Structure 1
Amino acid sequence: MSTRRSDGDGIVVIGLGRFGCHLAGSLTRMDREVLAIDHNPDQVQRWSAELDRVVQADSTEEESLRQLGVAGFPRAVVAIGASVEASVLTVLALVELGVPQVWARATSEKHAKILSSVGAHHVIFPEAETGDRVAHLIVSRLLDFIEFGDDFAIATVRVPESLAGRTLLDLRPNERYGVRVVGAKLPGERFRYASDTTVLPQGGVLVVEGGIDQVQRFAGLR
């Protein structure tokens, strides 16, 4: 294994189910120091070859987490989904340890409210968020899509044939379509930030931002 960053930017991932193991793996590939914890010895054994540090422990016990040095990490993610009780007790233990940022996976609105009430700083719904994103991709011509709060999205779309070869100054997409073109690229090339003089490339791809409905309508232009 390569040497990971040890600049105080490490992350604890608790729960090595489907979400937790993918998260821990992604963070490791980003060269982050990751401490992965699971109560199931089979899961620990399975992921010990993939992750730098995987330990078996009862994450609901504050003292167990203390002995593992969890209190020294700036962020922890509770990825437990099978047991609401274990999830909540783990968040509570992390808060008692004083971990500055506690992220927690919720499986329902009620679960989310409980997690927030015991001190989770960020509550996430990975399955719901993924489902929403895939739904947008299925029913539209978007290539990729990220939705933010307050009806705002960033997406990649193919350059509409009717707009190819024209500059952004000429098209004024913000006025006409309610979207802002952030970048553009041709196949095989890197994205470039867009300006008024940017010509929309035939067969190219654009990065656009704006309201969700506006972005989808822009992607549907021919």
Structure 2
Amino acid sequence: MFKNKLVIEFGVIGLGRFGFALAKALADAGKEVLVLDGNESKIKAIRNYTDNAFVVKSLNRETLEEAGIQNCHTVIVCIGESIDVSILTTLNVINMGVPRVISKATSYEHGQILEKLGAEVIYPEHDMAIKLANKLISSSILESIELRNDIVVSELKLTSKIAGKTVLEADLRKKYKLNIIALEHDGKATIDITPELVLNENDKIVVVGKRLDVKRFEGFLIED
């Protein structure tokens, strides 16, 4: 396996639907990924995308070390069905000194335990539900990613309410506590957001700020 390799970019433990999709996406992007699962048929399937996939019958520390998981820069623990296995595996990986450990949680309580161990926590079903809800209920928010502490990164489509104004004149930082970090105009994107940059109807902007502040700005864009 990869016991003696110096650095592996990503490790994925668990090949449920989320873990399989994640491992495939990383491999398709040309990233080096080490994949571990106890199901031989799932490992055989993921080997269509990466050769670095191995069947492990146990996820104890000795087995993980033999596989080389300690050499990964980032490990994603994608175990959701067995909470106890998820927690113990996360603890083992963290104690092995992996710089970044991300763990899938199936409930808030599960996530709390993982966070206390020192892992970053993701809630795939919850996050996808929020993303879908944003698309269903919002005519201006195109995409939204939730960070911690109620902070979001959102892409919005500008309306005539703000057309013709410069970034300085719109003054989203003062009025809505939002920072513009990217803009797309006529299919061309830029992150060079200057005070003189003119905002146009149908431009797409990416802002970062509190969720409620994003909603306030969205309300301004779509109000009559």
TM category, shorter? 0.7 to 0.9
CA distance in 2, matches of 1:192, 1:100: 29
Give, as a single letter, the amino acid of the residue that structure 2 aligns with 1:181. I
Root-mean-square deviation over aligned CA pairs: 2.3
> Sequence identity of aligned pairs in percent?
30
Q: State how many pairs are aligned.
A: 216
Shift of 1:120: 4.4
* Aligned match of 2:49: 50
Give, as a single letter, the amino acid of the residue that structure 2 aligns with 1:199. V
Quickly say closer, same or farther: Cα 1:205–1:75, change in 2 above 3 A: closer
Quickly say closer, same or farther: Cα 1:169–1:114, change in 2 above 3 A: closer
* Aligned match of 1:3: none
- Counting only pairs closer than 5 Å after superposition, residues 1-222 of structure 1 correspond to structure 2 as 8-116=7-115, 119-140=117-138, 141-220=140-219, 221-222=221-222
Give, as a single letter, the amino acid of the residue that structure 1 aligns with 2:59. T
Shift of 1:83: 1.5
Q: What TM-score do you get using the length of structure 1 for normalisation?
A: 0.85
Kept after mapping to 2: 8 A contact 1:77/1:104: yes
Shift of 1:142: 0.2
Give, as a single letter, the amino acid of the residue that structure 2 aligns with 1:34. V
CA distance in 1, matches of 2:49, 2:79: 19
Structure 1: stretches of 5+ with no match in the other structure: 1-5
CA distance in 1, matches of 2:14, 2:121: 15
Shift of 1:14: 0.5
Kept after mapping to 1: 8 A contact 2:75/2:100: yes
Give, as a single letter, the amino acid of the residue that structure 2 aligns with 1:92. L
Quickly say closer, same or farther: Cα 1:49–1:204, change in 2 above 3 A: same
Kept after mapping to 2: 8 A contact 1:158/1:219: no
Shift of 1:52: 3.2
Structure 2: stretches of 5+ with no match in the other structure: none
Secondary structure in 2 matching 1:166: coil
